[in-house]
């Protein structure tokens, strides 16, 4: 071989070795450690046996990018720190997987998720601080002041454990505290074994939780032009596109994920669903978020991939009008309730008097829905499920307040009635159904 030939050969092989090293160094840590004979054996054995025992698990896994990338059953199922080991057919696995089982290979997604309201704040909204460590509370409070350090929601006591476990917690466990010390699970949007971005981009995936009269995001989306177009063009879209490369040819129409998470055409892709928001729309009266300008800029950057500036400005201007006028109506309702409380005609306890439910429906159903409808393109939700509900509940609320005052006036005669003139149950029940009566006592005795 000539010197020139030898030189080229040496250069080529050096380049090959260097690029192999570079490729290798970019792979997740766990993957570099493989393939050890044990792990290869593990997946073969797990899958072989589980093909008979729980075949759907294996089929789902086989469809995943994990199986193509060589991530095996034991990579996820081995106990991570703080998880109880479980001896299973010659392997040590864990039965309860958490976000900690994904964290090692996906640290960026994990960190962003942990900072979002999908983490600790979601659980605290139902159960308060009780299940968190002081460190977990401090971490989340630093990002979302007041979102974790708060009492359990009063409805949980009224409805009871069965309702809370099968109701509230099924949605709010997206941020549950786990026995291993971690928070939440990543499977709410990715599922366990298919672990797919395609699934996470479907509106129905978010709609598992984001639906119903108090947060009708899924219904609003399906009413919007975006939802209608998505449903008709879904077949020609590339919903499995890699997040770093996602462009408007893959998805010319946005889904929930596109607006709230995706890195469309080079924008920052995030697991912190709070990053693009400007108002606290879920609140009775919606204030600006601490990062109002930034949130708005982030969201508009996504709209601008598909729309023009004047159109987006107009859209935001009109939606802001809805926030302002809804705030005004909710404040009016708040004033009525506060007035009754001040006059001693309502107890301090929430959810023990019918008028409190009228008030709750007014802002929690009507108010929220109007605001969400305005920001996500659902005219029917702004109007019939929104403002119409607010104004009809307002009429009910006023009427009910009037009746409470009338009843109270009747029960406060100039001279105190003799005990014999009063029905027995006034004393027994503490006049539970008389908001003007001694309801404090009745509330305390319950």
Euclidean distance between CA atoms 274 and 291, whole angstroms: 10
Site string for ligand HEC, 74-103 (x = CB under 6 A): xxxx----------xx-x-x-xxx-x-xx-
Number of residues that bind ligand HEC (CB under 6 A): 125
CB 345 within 8 A of CB 436: yes
Q: Is 248 near ligand HEC (CB under 6 A)?
A: yes
Considering only 134-142, 238-246, 353-361, 421-429, which stretch makes contact with ligand HEC by CB under 6 A? 238-246
Q: Is 53 near ligand HEC (CB under 6 A)?
A: yes
Q: Is 280 near ligand HEC (CB under 6 A)?
A: yes
Contacting residue, 41, 137, 187, 426, with ligand HEC by CB under 6 A: 187
Site string for ligand HEC, 289-318 (x = CB under 6 A): ------xx--x--xx-xxx----x--x---
Contacting residue, 39, 143, 186, 322, with ligand HEC by CB under 6 A: 186
Please give the residues from 379 up to 418 whose contact with ligand HEC meets the rule CB under 6 A: none
Helix 368-376, helix 309-342: angle, nearest 10: 180
Q: Is 363 near ligand HEC (CB under 6 A)?
A: no
**CB 319 to ligand HEC: min, Å:** 7
**CB 346 to ligand HEC: min, Å:** 21
Euclidean distance between CA atoms 339 and 328, whole angstroms: 17
The DSSP code sequence of 286-355 is -PBPTTHHHHHHHHHHHHTTTS-HHHHHHHHHHHHHHHHHHHHHHHHHHHHHHHHHHTT-S-SSTTSSHH
SS3 state at 8 = helix
Euclidean distance between CA atoms 278 and 298, whole angstroms: 10
Q: How far is CA 151 from the centre of its chain?
A: 19
**CB 342 to ligand HEC: min, Å:** 25
Euclidean distance between CA atoms 14 and 8, whole angstroms: 10
**Do you know the residue count of the chain?**
446
Burial class (CB in 10 A: 0-12, 13-18, 19+), 306: middle
Please give the residues from 411 up to 440 whose contact with ligand HEC meets the rule CB under 6 A: none
Euclidean distance between CA atoms 254 and 299, whole angstroms: 12
Q: Which among 94, 158, 147 is positioned nearest to 123, based on CA atoms?
A: 147
Q: Is 197 near ligand HEC (CB under 6 A)?
A: yes
Q: Is 30 near ligand HEC (CB under 6 A)?
A: yes
Two tokens, residue 83: 């998880």
Contacting residue, 59, 145, 234, 242, with ligand HEC by CB under 6 A: 242
Please give the residues from 249 up to 278 whose contact with ligand HEC meets the rule CB under 6 A: 251-263, 269, 271, 273-274, 277-278
Considering only 10-18, 187-195, 351-359, 432-440, which stretch makes contact with ligand HEC by CB under 6 A? 187-195
SS3 state at 364 = helix
Q: Is 42 near ligand HEC (CB under 6 A)?
A: yes
Euclidean distance between CA atoms 68 and 324, whole angstroms: 51
Q: Is 106 near ligand HEC (CB under 6 A)?
A: yes
Burial class (CB in 10 A: 0-12, 13-18, 19+), 408: middle
- For ligand HEC, the closer of residues 174 and 358 by Cβ is 174
Contacting residue, 87, 135, 244, 421, with ligand HEC by CB under 6 A: 244
Contacting residue, 39, 143, 148, 168, with ligand HEC by CB under 6 A: 168
Contacting residue, 181, 207, 213, 350, with ligand HEC by CB under 6 A: 207
Site string for ligand HEC, 126-155 (x = CB under 6 A): x--------------------x-----x-x
Considering only 216-224, 340-348, 353-361, 409-417, which stretch makes contact with ligand HEC by CB under 6 A? 216-224
């Amino acid at each position: 071989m000539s010197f020139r030939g030898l030189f080229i050969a040496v250069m080529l092989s050096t380049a090959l070795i260097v690029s192999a090293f570079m490729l290798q160094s970019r792979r997740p840590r766990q993957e570099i450690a493989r393939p050890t004979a044990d792990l290869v054996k593990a997946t073969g054995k797990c899958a072989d046996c589980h093909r008979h025992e729980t075949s759907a698990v294996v089929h789902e896994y086989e469809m995943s990018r994990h199986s193509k990338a060589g991530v095996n059953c034991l990579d996820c199922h081995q106990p991570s720190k703080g998880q109880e080991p479980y001896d299973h057919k010659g392997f040590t696995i864990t039965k309860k997987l958490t976000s900690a089982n994904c964290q090692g290979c996906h640290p960026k997604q994990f960190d962003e998720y942990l900072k979002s309201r999908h983490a600790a704040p979601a659980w605290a909204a139902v159960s308060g601080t009780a299940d968190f460590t002081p460190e977990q509370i401090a971490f989340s409070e630093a990002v979302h002041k007041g979102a974790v350090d708060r009492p359990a929601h009063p409805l949980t006591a009224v409805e009871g454990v069965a309702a809370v476990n099968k109701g509230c917690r099924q949605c709010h466990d997206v941020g549950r505290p786990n026995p291993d010390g971690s928070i939440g699970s990543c499977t709410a949007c990715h599922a366990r074994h298919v672990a797919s971005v395609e699934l996470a981009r479907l509106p129905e995936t978010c709609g598992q939780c984001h639906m119903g009269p108090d947060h009708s995001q899924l219904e609003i989306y399906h009413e919007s032009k975006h939802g209608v177009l998505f449903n008709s063009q879904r077949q020609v879209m590339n919903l499995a596109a890699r997040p770093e490369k996602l462009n408007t040819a893959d998805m010319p129409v946005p889904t929930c994920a596109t607006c709230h998470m995706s890195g469309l055409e080079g924008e920052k892709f995030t697991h912190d669903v709070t990053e693009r928001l400007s108002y606290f729309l879920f609140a009775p009266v919606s204030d600006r978020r601490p990062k109002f300008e930034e949130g708005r800029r982030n969201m508009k950057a996504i709209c601008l991939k598909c729309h023009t500036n004047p159109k987006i400005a107009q859209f935001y201007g009109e939606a802001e009008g809805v926030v302002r006028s809804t705030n005004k109506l909710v404040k009016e309702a708040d004033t009525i309730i506060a007035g009754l409380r001040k006059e001693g005609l309502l107890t301090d306890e929430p959810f023990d008097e019918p008028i409190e439910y009228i008030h709750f429906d007014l802002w929690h159903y009507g108010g929220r829905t109007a605001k969400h409808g305005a920001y996500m393109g659902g005219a029917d939700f702004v109007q019939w499920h929104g403002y119409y509900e607010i104004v009809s509940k307002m009429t009910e609320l006023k009427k009910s307040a009037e009746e409470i005052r009338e009843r109270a006036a009747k029960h406060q005669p100039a001279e105190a009635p003799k005990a014999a003139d009063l029905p027995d149950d006034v004393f027994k029940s503490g006049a539970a159904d008389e908001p003007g009566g001694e309801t404090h006592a009745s509330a305390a005795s319950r």
